[in-house]
Amino acid sequence: YRLDLLTLMHLPAGRTKLDGEPVELGALTGGSIHAALAASKTRPLRRVLFALGIRHVGATVAEALAQAFPSIEELERVALEQPASPAEDSIASVDGVGPTIASSVRNFFGIEENRALIERLRDAGVLMRDEYRGPAVPQTLTGLTFVLTGALEGYTREEAGSALKEYGAKVASSVSKKTSFVVAGADAGSKLAKAEELGVPVLDEAALARVLTTGEPPEIER
């Protein structure tokens, strides 16, 4: 973030001219990198938490933490507090987190060098909070877990998963007894077989489209 456009333009591109002089990135490539760096400062908080490299905090956990603690300051404050009991650990109580990940988060914020890194990122202009604080749509799918498998025609799996999450659903990568629904597209494989084995309801893409259009949970024939 300390690199300005002029510096980027004159960085070596990793190859040389015929006369042996290094080829520089130039205005086009340097400008593209500079623009990408500027844009990265306004990424959602979940992306920042994931990028910090906190042990056990992958993309899914980072998203859960960002929803529970909409700013780095709030998460840091809670992380540095010692909960009175495990039951009162507000980090561990976040869905999908638990005591092991909560301990890792607390250890990260307990290290002075990590807090200094966050301060340097903040000084560089990196956004450390999510301005958005409430759900944009009714959370009608809260408590339901979906697993997506196979190829979908109208959506990518990432698009479908994001749309389900907007309604409050949880999207998991594997099928278990706790799975509410499996959405099976073309060429669905082992996840579909696992759902059938466990008796998990399976939805086709048309059923998924109804859920995403109405926000209502699927109706399952008993």
pLDDT in tens, 10-56: 999 999 988 888 999 998 888 888 888 888 888 889 999 999 999 99
Band the pLDDT of 221: cuts 50, 70, 90: low
Residue 182 CA to residue 145 CA, distance in Å, equals 9
Q: Looking at per-residue confidence, does 161 or 49 come out higher?
A: 49
Q: Which residues contact 79 (CB under 8 A, 6 or more apart)?
A: 91, 105, 106, 108, 109, 110
Structure tokens at 193: 């077989």
- Residue-level pLDDT at 130: 83
According to the model, what pLDDT value does residue 200 have?
95
pLDDT tens, residue by residue, 75-115: 999 999 988 788 889 999 998 899 999 999 999 999 999 99
- Which range is least confidently modeled, 15-24, 113-122, 135-144? 135-144
115 compared with 222, residue with greater pLDDT: 115
pLDDT for residue 155: 78
Label residue 189 by pLDDT band (50, 70, 90): confident
Helix (H) or strand (E) holding 13: strand 12-16
pLDDT band of residue 163 (cuts 50, 70, 90) is confident
Nearest to 127 by CA among 36, 41, 62, 63: 41
- Count CB-CB contacts under 10 A for residue 62: 20
Q: Does an H or E element contain 202, and which? A: strand 202-203
DSSP state of 86: G
Average pLDDT (71-76) is 94
Burial 170-190 (b: 16+ CB within 10 A, else e): bbbeebeeebbbbbbbeebee
Instruction: Look at residue 149 and tell me whether its pLDDT is greater than 60.
Output: yes
- Give 98's contacts (C-beta < 8 A, 6+ positions apart): 92
The pairing of strands 12-16 and 22-24 is antiparallel
